[in-house]
Structure 1
């Protein structure tokens, strides 16, 4: 980190997008959308980018921390010609809602379901990473047969060890706000500690910018204060996994230091998932969407077929 931080160029704030703004990813034009949907009090304002044929199969992407919809831009660029892709900024992140309210994983999943209902999305495949995955776990259980496939990325599942989720203590500490407010240092720290392969500087810069919007440093800790890794673990084993109806592909970086590969290659784990489920280990660390973009696209394309 000491070497990477000085090398990363200064990252001035990015101007907020407006509904209808377009962004070109490869050959596909994606549109920024802002939608007020039922949620806390009256509404939750969601930001997402959307692209691809309007009547094609739908794929919904949920990112982790310290990321945003941008985490999926390689996948969006590659899959946008064949799928209607929606990459959503989770509540509290990017340009989505950051006001007080329900930041339980289940609560956010219920609000995401309301958004998808409002967008008249009946059936879809779900791809998640890191802290978007606990929300995805609830969403897959809540929406049942409406989820066609679940690419479940980079998060504890059946096995858990208390030494392997240090971010819980970090993000519930009195210093959490100031730590998260320094987006540049936070992104460099996370990517330095958890990657095995080089990440493009342009991806790090955009990640910093997307994590620099006002309110993020206050909103994101609400997730960690609303639950715990142990609580999520108990809910998965006792309530959520039995409700998943679709094939689940566990997507894990083989060299993530806090999520050992043996937790996912244990055959008893896949046996507890719906028929047709499996595991793919990326030749990377934690952040495979950026570390191994070509492998990510190949695996997702095959899974979505």
Structure 2
């Protein structure tokens, strides 16, 4: 399989891909007072955007270990499961969850290795970790659900949709390489794999600000950035997250997706992408109906902003999600 050539616009967008040190330094100074957040306990609640969020913890078997899962839910009704990316947590979706909680049971999970979920050794392959997360969905009684994903959560969502086609009503897939790929779009792949040795994640505040400064196109509200930093600062994250990159690579995931996962997708799929996403050029999504043969309905919705559109354009993202969720699952 050959890499897709990058259009000129996308090549210009990834010039100086990583944020300059002076920009990171200025933003670090702005958030210098952000302190670690105390861990939650099962049943703790908090109010965000006028909605009540409840924290839950569940211990389930892994391979030879016990995996402790943290998830947060709001609202009631048909279940919608949200999975975040890097360097994020369930909190990435809180604006969308609050907006939709009037009609849906919104559940956002901390990926293994992130937030307040398990950070010990174990299976950090995308296939293995996603199957353990699916065990959590079984344990909390979700028979069928809509799945909404972003970035590294999308890598696991791809496996869930392929392995459990009758359980996912609709796959709302965000900010993940799909059929097209070029390694120039993933310079961070090797950086993350080397993080335990390079010290890239030793200062979680710096890593979060570096990441958001590099690939966000619109400003994120200061109060949201403060919480994103806190959620990535729980002990053990800086050692757990790189295990995913050590277990695989973006290229390997791309090959597996094209050869095995995409042919097994059989539910409606909506792609939500940042219009100015540097890591996911919008040109890569122009011909996807040719490459997803078994998907009964497929559409692409672009959101104003870059990679972190749930926090860059929260109201717009919530409105698009509400529209998508109201559609019949049998077709577009």
Shorter-chain TM-score tier: over 0.9
Aligned to 1:61: 82
Distance change in 2, residues 1:108/1:271 (3 Å): closer
Counterpart pick for 1:201 among 181, 197, 222 = 222
Aligned to 2:233: 212
**Offset at residue 175 of structure 1 (A):** 5.0
Q: Which runs of 5+ in 2 are unaligned?
A: 1-22, 327-332
Structure 1 segments (4+ residues) deviating >4 Å: 174-177, 267-271
Aligned to 2:123: 102
Tell whether the 8 Å contact from 1:158 to 1:269 is kept in structure 2 after alignment: no
Residue range with higher mean Cα deviation, 1-10 or 80-89: 1-10
* 1:154 maps onto 2:145 in alignment: no
* 1:38 maps onto 2:61 in alignment: yes
Aligned to 1:126: 147
Q: What is the aligned length?
A: 303
SS at 1:199 equivalent: coil
Aligned to 1:77: 98
Aligned to 1:295: 316
> Could you list the per-position Cα deviations for residues 127-154 of structure 1 after superposition, in whole angstroms to 9, with x for gaps in the alignment?
0001110000001111111100111000
Distance change in 2, residues 1:66/1:125 (3 Å): same
Aligned to 2:19: none
Counterpart pick for 1:27 among 30, 34, 50 = 50
Distance change in 2, residues 1:271/1:41 (3 Å): closer
How far apart are the structure 1 equivalents of 2:291 and 2:309?
Answer: 21
Distance change in 2, residues 1:278/1:253 (3 Å): same
Q: TM-score, normalised by structure 2?
A: 0.88
Aligned to 1:222: 243
Aligned to 1:274: 295
> Could you list the per-position Cα deviations for residues 95-135 of structure 1 after superposition, in whole angstroms to 9, with x for gaps in the alignment?
00000000000001110111111111100000000111000
SS at 1:84 equivalent: strand
SS at 1:140 equivalent: helix
How far apart are the structure 2 equivalents of 1:33 and 1:208?
Answer: 21
Counterpart pick for 1:261 among 271, 282, 288 = 282
How far apart are the structure 1 equivalents of 2:170 and 2:195?
Answer: 39
**Offset at residue 27 of structure 1 (A):** 3.0
Q: Which runs of 5+ in 1 are unaligned?
A: none
Tell whether the 8 Å contact from 2:195 to 2:201 is kept in structure 1 after alignment: no
How far apart are the structure 2 equivalents of 1:269 and 1:176?
Answer: 42
Distance change in 2, residues 1:278/1:270 (3 Å): farther
Q: TM-score, normalised by structure 1?
A: 0.96
SS at 2:67 equivalent: strand
